[in-house]
Amino acid sequence: MKNFMKSVSYFFSQIPRWGLIIPILAAILFRYFMIENPQSGFEQKAEKQVEFNIVPTESDMKVFEIVNNLPHGSKVLILVNYGPESRYELETAMSALIVALAEKNIGIAFATMIPNGIESAFMAVEKSIENGSFGKERFVYGHEYTHLGFIVGGTIASYLIANNFGEVRERDIFDGRTDIRQPLMSGINAISDFSAVFEFSSQTFDGIPGLVSFAATLNNKEVKKVAFCSSDMLPAYIPFYNSLYFDGLVGGFKSIAVFIHEINPAIKIERQYNTLSMILLYIIGLVVFANLINFGKKDKR
């Protein structure tokens, strides 16, 4: 065994350090041509496996029902309360929702209670344009969607959105008056003018989920309220899951994957998670190889 380890370490010691990049290049090329190619049998097999494993829960079905029953041509508010730390978990879900709404000609107003939420919203919009059957010419800022910007204050911001929306909607992120230049905001003076409010969240405010603060102070209970949260935030949302705060809750990788597949099966759920896992495994491999090389060099001395 000792001689075998020496042989292995000697072998790796002969490989130039730049040569360690070759395996990851090969893995990326293999993934592109054999897995991510739409004509690949590997891709079709993966899709069948995902479809077979999906079993929507009662909570998932409620969310599907809410989204599917939104009236054509209505308008919704999406609170984007996550940043880069939860992009891979929540961005694809929000993109799938945007696609579903846009295909029903439902207008979308974005707002955020965290600064990073502004970037998160626009990145999800770009991804939805890529994944949807509509293009930029059919999904125009100010007509089909807008962004009302960063609303400061945490739980105070939730109260303002719920009860003083007339002030919140006055100007967009580019400091333009929404009542003049944005047909989307025509007739929107209060939260009750929206068919639903969705929150995509990876954090709480003063220990309370944003949509909980919003719902607790909302006078009009007719507006549907749906929360999407990251896996680590799910325990903070579950205690509030009842008709008083949420009409639907999607939380964690499994529930989000089910939602994405049900709303837009064309979106490849596993791709981004597999890519991240592959990179992490390669980093671990590099550490092991580097130690073997050092061991071999020491043994030669």
Smallest CA-to-CA distance from 70 within 196, 165, 198 is with: 196
Structure tokens at 1: 């065994």
Q: Which two tokens stand for residue 193?
A: 């003018």
> What is the pLDDT at residue 272?
44
- pLDDT of 112 > 80? The answer is yes
CA–CA distances in Å: residue 84 to residues 55, 89, 96: 29, 10, 18
Can you give the pLDDT at residue 61?
Answer: 86
199: Cα separation from own chain's centroid: 11
Whether 286 shows a pLDDT value over 50: the answer reads yes
**pLDDT given for residue 291 in this prediction:** 63
Q: Hey, which of 102-116, 173-187, 210-224 has the most confident mean pLDDT?
A: 102-116
Q: Which two tokens stand for residue 266?
A: 């064309």
- Over residues 130-170, the pLDDT tens digits come to 877 676 677 888 889 999 999 988 888 888 899 888 888 88
The stretch 271-299 carries a mean pLDDT of: 57
- Whether the model pTM is above 0.85: no
Please spell the DSSP secondary structure of 30-92, one letter per residue.
HIIIIISSTT-HHHHHHHHHHHHH----HHHHHHHHHHHTSPTT-EEEEEEE--GGGHHHHHH
